[in-house]
Structure formats: C-alpha cells, structure tokens
Amino acid sequence: MSMNLNIGVIKGDGIGPEIVTEAMKVLDKAAEKYGHACKYTQLLLGGASIDVHGIPLTDETVEQAKACDAVLMGSIGGDAKTSPWYQLEPSKRPEAGLLKIRKELNLFANLRPAILYDELKGACPLKEEITEGGFDLMIMRELTGGLYFGERRTEEIDGVLTAFDSLTYNEIRRIAKRAFDIAMKRGRKVTSVDKANVLDSSRLWRKIVEEVAKDYPEVALEHMLVDNCAMQLVKDPKQFDVVLTENMFGDILSDEASMVTGSIGMLASTSLNETKFGLYEPSGGSAPDIAGKGIANPIATILSAAMMLRFSFDLDQEADAIEAAVAQVLKEGYRTIDIMSEGKTQV
Ligand code: IPM
Ligand code: MG
C-alpha cells in the first residue's frame, strides 16, 4: 500500500545538515522503490534556531513537529569553548531545545541499539575473544525524568546548586513496560540498571520493574548496579539483550555501548511517546570539529531513518532494505574515518 510520509526534518548543527541530507536521499530512494511519497517539513532546533529566533526551540516548531508523523533529526550544539551559543544562559543554549522538545512531545522511551557489525570488528576497541560472534543490545533509556528534569534551585546563602531526582511511579512503569515489550521481540532478557545500593529513587525503580516483570513471565529479568554495568559492557557485552535504565545512566551507558561497536557514528536511536510518533536521531553529537568537511559518518542517521520506517510507519520491508543496504556498503569496504580508513559522507 502506498503511503504519504509526513516527516519533520531538523538538520541541526555541526555535521547535522550533512548527515541528514544523506539520510533523506536514502529515504527518497526507499520511497521511490516501494511506491511511497515523503513530504518533508524543515524545522529549526538548537543552534540553528538560536541564530534565527534567539532561542533553541520555539512554540511554533513544537506545534509543527506535532503535526508531523515523525521527525528525523541530525545533531545539535556547537563547540562550548568557541561558539557564541554558549555565552547564553544554560536555558537558552542548544541542548535546552532538545530537552524541551523531548518533554513537550512526551518522548519518554529512548531506544539506542548497539550492534557490532562483522565487517567492523577491526574498529572495535575490545579484544577479539570478547566480541567473537558479535553482539546486539538495546539500551532503553528513560528520557523525560530523572536528574535531567528534577527540580533545580540555587541556595541563596552559599550558592550551592541542589538537584533533585524526579521519577514518578507512572514514569517508571511505562518505560519498564516498553522495555519488556521490546525484549519479547528480541532475546527475552531485560537487565535493569540502577544504583539501588545508594539511591532511594533506584529502590523505587527496582520495585516497579519487578512488578511489571510479573506480566512478562517469558522474559528473564536481572538487576545490575550502574557501575558494574559500565564494567560489564566492556568485559562481556554479549551478555546483554535489553538494558533498561534511567535518563542519566542511559546517557552515559549508551555512549559507552556505542564505542564498543566501533564508532558512535554507527548508532541510530529513536525517542518515542505513547503514540506512533518518534524523534529519530543518530546517537552521536554534532562533531563541530569535522563539520563541513564531508567526512562525517552518515550511517547512524540512515539507520535512524530505517528505524523511523519501522516504528512510526510500520514499513518493515522498507526498513529491512535500508539496513541490508548499509550492511552491503560496509561489506563492499566503504568507510568514513571514524571506522578506520579514509572515506567521505557521500558515495
Ligand atoms: C544525548 C545527548 C543529550 C543528552 C544532550 C545533548 C542534552 O548527550 O542525547 O545523549 O544528554 O540527553
Ligand atoms: Mg548523550
């Protein structure tokens, strides 16, 4: 059945415009091949929005994003030392726009798959015996709560900045449910990561995850402390299927997981709400140091576009075709420098 895909596009900052342009070409090609039509609406977020509107996200952009079926995004932010965006107060900087759009669109479930491609074993910093046979794990990061969104205030007297952790019962429940649903379609194992030996919020997290697990008897649940998980990811990444964790831990662990796959430039991600809507973006940052040189790795964004077809449009066949094409390109030896050879963004 032919579909009209109403896609918002946030090209973003740094390498964002280059990598999104390549992903759009791939989307157009897939649409042409399978008889769909892509309609793109360009949206401004982050530094690009500051340059035009003075703020990293306008209400108008939020409304425009809501009117799309899904949004494809590059990356946002610049060099904190040199970019004028970082002279602004924190709430007006590029990252604030990203956090705001996540909150406004209720994108609570952040899926960050980390897959080691056979062809890229050489780029993986781990020893061969550890990665033998490859690995394929999915970080499920809670994205609209935790320290990121807890109440913040500056005490008047001694200038101490106090941050509170904030996760409600329902927030933990819905992300846990999503993680178990995804595990049912994968390896049927959930590793829930917390810091329950220290944090009350983690003890609440663990209790609710266990409650949710009762509805999924086929899924094996284990708990792991976050410091141990950081170690296990490099010691034995094959042990993981779905790694379920809160916002801050997920931010850190997903960068680590990406590096063990060889490059953060390879990893797609999506942030979903309760509907089919998703914000699809590469896991990596805007890499201002290599922006405009045509050497950034577009694969993470191309795979994010494939995730979009799968999750927001139920176009599994089309998503499979894009993923197979990426595997084929790697097999044929095409590389960008982050995965260990000379190369360029465009083919
Ligand atoms: C990420 C990024 C963001 C985050 C920043 C840019 C606000 O690191 O998506 O992982 O911390 O969530
Ligand atoms: Mg991060």
Q: What is the C-alpha separation between 231 and 132, in angstroms, rounded?
A: 18
* pLDDT over 60 (residue 325): yes
pLDDT of residue 340: 63
The string of pLDDT tens digits covering residues 15-59 is 999 999 999 999 999 999 999 999 999 999 999 999 999 999 999
pLDDT in the model for residue 347: 62
Residue whose tokens read 């309760």: 274
Neighbours of ion ligand 2 (CB under 5 A): 251
Ligand 1 centroid from CA 251, angstroms: 7
Q: Give percent of the chain with pLDDT exceeding 70.
A: 97
Distance 148 CA to ligand 1 centre (A): 10
Q: If you take atom 12 of ligand 1, which residue's CA is the nearest one?
A: 251
Q: Where does the pLDDT of residue 343 fall: very low under 50, low under 70, confident under 90, or very high at 90 and above?
A: low
Residue position matching structure tokens 């983690």: 202
As a whole number, mean pLDDT of residues 85-95 equals 95
Q: Is the pLDDT of residue 88 over 60?
A: yes
Give, for ligand 1, the residue of 85, 91, 95, 149 to mutate: max count of ligand atoms closer than 8 Å to Cβ.
Answer: 95
At 190-220, the pLDDT tens digits run: 999 999 999 999 999 999 999 999 999 999 9
Compute the Cα dihedral for 35, 17, 62, 252 and give only its sign. Answer: positive
* pLDDT of 122 strictly over 70: yes
DSSP element (H, E) containing 243: strand 242-245
Q: Could you tell me the pTM of the whole model?
A: 0.92
Tokens of 168: 């409600």
Q: Which ligand is nearest to the CA of 147?
A: 1
Instruction: Please list every protein residue whose CB sits less than 6 Å from any atom of ligand 1.
Output: 77, 95, 98-99, 251
What is the predicted pLDDT for the residue at 42?
98
Give the tokens for residue 213. 């697990």
Provide, rounded to the nearest whole percent, the portion of the chain with pLDDT above 90.
Answer: 79
Q: Which residues are catalytic?
A: 148, 195, 227, 251, 255
Pocket test for ligand 1, best of 83, 93, 99, 139 (most atoms within 8 A of CB): 99
- pLDDT digits 0-9 by tens, 247-299: 999 999 999 998 888 888 888 999 999 999 999 999 888 999 999 999 999 99
Is residue 151 within 8 Å of residue 166, measured between CB atoms? Answer: yes
State which ligand 1 atom lies nearest to the alpha carbon of 269: 9
SS3 readout for 194-206? ECCCCCHHHHHHH
Q: What is the pLDDT of residue 232?
A: 98
Q: Looking at residue 39, what DSSP letter applies? A: E
Q: Average pLDDT in the 121-143 region?
A: 90
Mean pLDDT of 129-144: 92
